Amino acid sequence: MAPLPISSIRVGKIEDVQELIKSKPNKVPERFIRDANERGGLVSLKTHLHQPIPVIDLSKLSKPHTNDDFVFEILKLSQACEDWGFFQVINHGLEVDVVDDIEKVAKEFFEMPLEEKQKYPMEPGTVQGYGQAFIFSEDQKLDWCNMFALGVHPPSIRNPKLWPSKPARFSESLKGYSKEISKLCKRLLTYIAISLGLKKETFEEMFGEAVQAVRMNYYPPCSSPDLVLGLSPHSDGSALTVLQQSKDSCVGLQILKDNTWVPVLPLPNALVINIGDTVEVLTNGKYKSVEHRAVTNRERERLTIVTFYAPNYEVEIEPMGELVDDETNPCKYRSYNHGDYSYHYISNKLQGKKSLDFAKILN
């Protein structure tokens, strides 16, 4: 979430989608309309119900490692990371009050007058504040989404001027929520290490003081949802990403599976987890980050709270030796500084998995 100090970026007029649906509820401006080849390839929920994304029960992973439930759930986790790059977690341990409160303050923030939200602007070339991120030109297509993003941990990545004074509980709620999400990410990385046959402390020791950021996404209804995207296709530069969807959310997340966009049906009280580019590199491609996007709905809004969890910016990233074999699985990625990759990631528009080319060894 480090800012990119580029003052020469010209992004043109970026209309606020919440204001658009108030003033022109049946009109979609040209800059939001996607080319036909960007909109298609969707599998319906009915078609794909026989193969929903995996669900991992964390209560089973809290049992002794010799317990049958633990062994079975670790195998499920391994298959989820290898075959899907996405899974939902249930019985994750987050208190209902903590989850409900962050959802409430996020909704209150987006419901504030535009003038209030614009006190915390996302400047061109940065990824903190209110607005749209990853916009680098005046003719770049826009997402049907309003974002509010903040660096959370370590404190050095926070921009205090962008932490809002309203709603009154916002900062307290976000800090409390982020602490719980941090604990969850550490647990998940412990189980992922075990699933790879590594020491359970592998990732925590490697990451140092982890970097954690949050982005709240508000997708208003759109009169022509077939013409727009809520969020452009991309993979995440993080190690893990945690997605919380508001309780009344419609289906909006889609993941690219077998060259087809598959909708993810939210489960009550579940969180959606996805593997980021960093884990793909560390596992030498065994566990892959997956391209995903968001779509909109004609009648219903959607609110999500997304946490990105990654190594410290000073950490050097490269495939772990245990997962590299010169004959059967040669090294696919070069060594690099994670801070350099983060800078590269936020310096470019969202474009599938193109950012990961930064790390690939080209034969």
How many C-beta atoms surround the C-beta of residue 153 within 10 A? Answer: 18
* Domain of residue 310, CATH code: 2.60.120.330
Task: Say if 205 falls within a structural domain.
Answer: yes
Task: Say if 13 falls within a structural domain.
Answer: no
Q: Which two tokens stand for residue 156?
A: 């050095």
Task: Say if 81 falls within a structural domain.
Answer: yes
Task: Say if 8 falls within a structural domain.
Answer: no
Task: Say if 2 falls within a structural domain.
Answer: no
Inter-residue contact 319 to 361 (CB < 8 Å): no
How many C-beta atoms surround the C-beta of residue 59 within 10 A? Answer: 12
Task: For residues 206 and 312, give the distance between their C-alpha atoms in angstroms, rounded to a whole number.
Answer: 9
Domain span including residue 47:
18-359
pTM (two decimals):
0.93
Instruction: Give pLDDT tens digits for 304-332.
Output: 999 999 999 999 999 999 999 988 989 99
Q: Which two tokens stand for residue 58?
A: 């964390």
How many C-beta atoms surround the C-beta of residue 8 within 10 A? Answer: 6
What element of type H or E holds 279?
helix 277-282
Give the model's pLDDT for residue 266. Answer: 86
Q: Is 9 helix (H, G, I), strand (E, B) or coil?
A: coil
| pLDDT under 50: residue ranges of the chain | 1-6, 44-50
The domain total for the chain is: 1
Q: Provide the Cα torsion 329, 289, 200, 70; round to 10°.
A: -100
User: Distances from the Cα of 78 to the Cαs of 43, 85, 269, in angstroms?
Assistant: 25, 10, 22
Task: Say if 171 falls within a structural domain.
Answer: yes
Instruction: Give pLDDT tens digits for 87-118.
Output: 999 999 999 999 999 999 999 999 999 999 99
Task: Say if 10 falls within a structural domain.
Answer: no
Give the model's pLDDT for residue 150. Answer: 97
